[in-house]
A and B are shown apart, each in its own frame.
Chain A
Amino acid sequence: MDTELTRLTAAEIAAAIRGGEVSAAQVTGAHLARIEAVEPRVRAFLHVAADQARAAAAAVDQRRAAGDQLGPLAGVPLALKDVFTTIDMPTTCGSAILDGWCPPYDATITRRLRDAGVVILGKTNMDEFAMGSSTENSAFGPSHNPWDLGRVPGGSSGGSAAAVAAYEAPLGIGTDTGGSIRQPGAVCGVVGVKPTYGGNSRYGVVAFASSLDTPGPLARTVLDAALLHEVMSGHDPCDATSVDAPVPPVVAAARQADVSGMTIGVVPEFTGDGVQAGVLARFTEAVELLESLGAKVTEVSCPHFSYALPAYYLIAPSEASSNLARFDAMRYGLRVGDDGTRSAEEVMALTRARGFGAEVKRRIMLGTYALSSGYYDAYYGKAQQVRTLVIRDFEAAFERVDVLVSPTTPTTAFPLGERVDDPMAMYLADLFTIPSDLAGNAALSVPCGLAPEDGLPVGLQIMAPVLADDRMYRVGAAVEAALDARRGYPLLNDAKGLA
């Protein structure tokens, strides 16, 4: 019974709870049991909040018993990336410098989840301060891909993606700055969504790169992701960069799932060398599938996309170097070296050297360099100009097509340890996801099969214009439905890592 409950989608769970077939308490209990069973191998969670989860579930059951109207995700369990502040759980951002920090406030999204009756099971592992593509930069050890425990679950939202893929929760939330929701989604065989920038509140999301960070959903189905998208999104007066516009009708689009008459652009810059053969094969098949479903496919060159990665690795570290300056041992967090003789400056420097991992240090120094007097124009300034050109490429493309597609990431999940000492190799994982972060438009990854050479999941990336998130859900749902029908069983049944 427990196993069956953990195999349900979020939509099915919510309906079952509303219909009285099962209690929220049972659902939560089943997922906590699953977590206990698989966590030693997956290590998706940094903190499991069992008591709080049970209390939240009980509250949903009480409301149902009292005859209250329950929202579309009431009683559904969720894994929350440890970058969101939670007033009743620690928030570490995967970093030793915040080990044990308990925020005195909830993120807006945290509050919206609680108000919706969603049951937060705990905080998931991540690359430290969201910098990375594998969770190997976590100060608390990496998470493991449920498809193959010797491989990475992607990053930086690898913990949330792994939790969903391992059936520890039907829903997860991550943040996407350079691809950190879509890439782990792709390599774990789940749906990962980066909504339009500003469509989701960043209040309470510990900042990595402020102009790029985008909270978003992870789920095993496109519809589930859409349901979560609608619950978490929307304008927030506490976030000055949040968009004051209605949430696009993503649930309706996910249900509609019909691509006939749509135009789809393939980005040729993203289908060349460097893409794993099996990834390219599955991608090409997905495009052909879309054609067979009634979409018109055409090639749309986006010439500045190939400069997006270097531009990103200037803009993001620059903002991060400033955002992470507050971790200085004065007000909260780790303090090292305060023996009564050292100066504040020394204690700050010792604490940061000890409390930050290598990748964070690299990016802080890179960002400091790019913003330095004398270098600003050539690096940060130039990168912001490239950003404009990437935006213009998208605008021109979307005049011709409804959505753009590409593989989500060049390879399937790579082995743990393979790229840890090669930053540039690690950065390449974000090659196809970065342009949408720079331009702020919507993009999602939907599983489109397994690469034949390694039997690991491949993601299809669908990119839509700013505030047209519904379009990508429509296309994603269509692909998912067709592939599921062809396969005859859920993709994750093939995940052998936890067998």
Chain B
Amino acid sequence: MPIARDDVAHLARLSRLALAEDELDHLAAQLDVIIAAVARVQEVAADGIPPTSHAVPLVNVFREDTLVPCLDAETVLSQAPAVEQQRFRVPRILAEE
């Protein structure tokens, strides 16, 4: 099923990508082809086959509850686009979360 341009615009919004109209058109066409190709996975009979999220099976990897030295604030903030009162200054946030 081809992917609609509106859906692609929606995906761009979800991914925080401000695409120009022509870029959107171009990417939509390409995504359509790619999605059709990757949809081939649906041809595989996989009833009862468990999904694999980790190829090499490990379980229960932990660390102990011990302190490790931190970075200092100067280092943390040194490459921030904007800093104020030792914090990251970010533009106004629209949505509550």
The answer to A–B direct touch (Cβ < 8 A) is yes
Is B58 a contact partner of A243 (Cβ separation < 8 A)? yes
CA distance A347 to B8 in the complex (A): 20
B51 at the interface (CB under 8 A from A): yes
A211 at the interface (CB under 8 A from B): yes
Residues of B within 8 A of A362 (CB): 27, 30-31, 34
Is A343 a contact partner of B93 (Cβ separation < 8 A)? yes
Residues of A within 8 A of B16 (CB): 325, 328, 345, 348-349, 352
Residues of A within 8 A of B (CB-CB), count: 68
B47 CB, min distance to chain A CBs, angstroms: 9
Is B54 a contact partner of A241 (Cβ separation < 8 A)? yes
Known: A338-B82, A424-B33. A387 touches B52 (CB 8 A): yes
Q: Which of A143-151, A178-186, A307-315, A398-406 contacts its partner?
A: A307-315
B67 at the interface (CB under 8 A from A): no
A371 CB, min distance to chain B CBs, angstroms: 10
Is B27 a contact partner of A358 (Cβ separation < 8 A)? yes
Is B44 a contact partner of A382 (Cβ separation < 8 A)? yes
Is A386 a contact partner of B41 (Cβ separation < 8 A)? yes
Q: 8 Å CB contacts to A: which residues of B41-65?
A: 41-44, 46, 49-56, 58, 61, 63
A275 at the interface (CB under 8 A from B): no
Instruction: Please encode chain B, from 52 to 85, with 1 for each CB lying within 8 Å of some chain A CB and 0 for all others.
Output: 1111101001010000000100011011111000
Is B79 a contact partner of A102 (Cβ separation < 8 A)? yes
From B12, B63, B90, B93, contact of A365 by CB (8 A): B12
Instruction: Please encode chain A, from 289 to 310, with 1 for each CB lying within 8 Å of some chain B CB and 0 for all others.
Output: 0000000000000001001001
Is A211 a contact partner of B54 (Cβ separation < 8 A)? yes
Is B18 a contact partner of A346 (Cβ separation < 8 A)? yes
Is B94 a contact partner of A345 (Cβ separation < 8 A)? yes
Instruction: Please encode chain B, from 18 to 49, with 1 for each CB lying within 8 Å of some chain A CB and 0 for all others.
Output: 11100100010011011101111111101001
From A197, A366, A372, contact of B55 by CB (8 A): A197
Is B79 a contact partner of A365 (Cβ separation < 8 A)? no
CA distance A438 to B41 in the complex (A): 14
Is A241 a contact partner of B92 (Cβ separation < 8 A)? no
The residue among B33, B43, B54, B95 with the most chain A CB atoms within 10 A of its own CB is: B54
A350 at the interface (CB under 8 A from B): yes
CA distance A436 to B50 in the complex (A): 19
Residues of A within 8 A of B7 (CB): 369
From B33, B38, B71, B90, contact of A379 by CB (8 A): B38
Is A424 a contact partner of B51 (Cβ separation < 8 A)? no
Measured CB to CB, the residues of A under 8 A from B are: 101-102, 104, 196-198, 211, 237, 240-241, 243, 304, 307, 310-311, 313-314, 321, 325, 328-333, 335, 338, 340, 342-350, 352-353, 356, 358, 361-362, 364-366, 368-370, 372, 378-379, 381-389, 391, 423-424, 438-440, 466
Q: Give me 29 A-to-B residue pairs in the complex whose CB atoms sit less than 8 angstroms apart, sorted by A's number.
A: A198-B58, A241-B61, A243-B58, A307-B40, A310-B39, A329-B81, A331-B80, A332-B81, A335-B81, A338-B82, A344-B90, A349-B13, A349-B18, A353-B17, A356-B17, A365-B17, A366-B35, A368-B11, A368-B15, A369-B11, A379-B41, A384-B52, A384-B53, A385-B46, A385-B49, A387-B51, A389-B44, A423-B30, A423-B34
Give the 10 A-B CB pairs with smallest separation, nearest first: A440-B55, A384-B51, A349-B18, A335-B81, A385-B46, A310-B38, A353-B18, A310-B40, A387-B52, A240-B61
Measured CB to CB, the residues of B under 8 A from A are: 3, 7-8, 11-20, 23, 27, 30-31, 33-35, 37-44, 46, 49-56, 58, 61, 63, 71, 75-76, 78-82, 88, 90-95
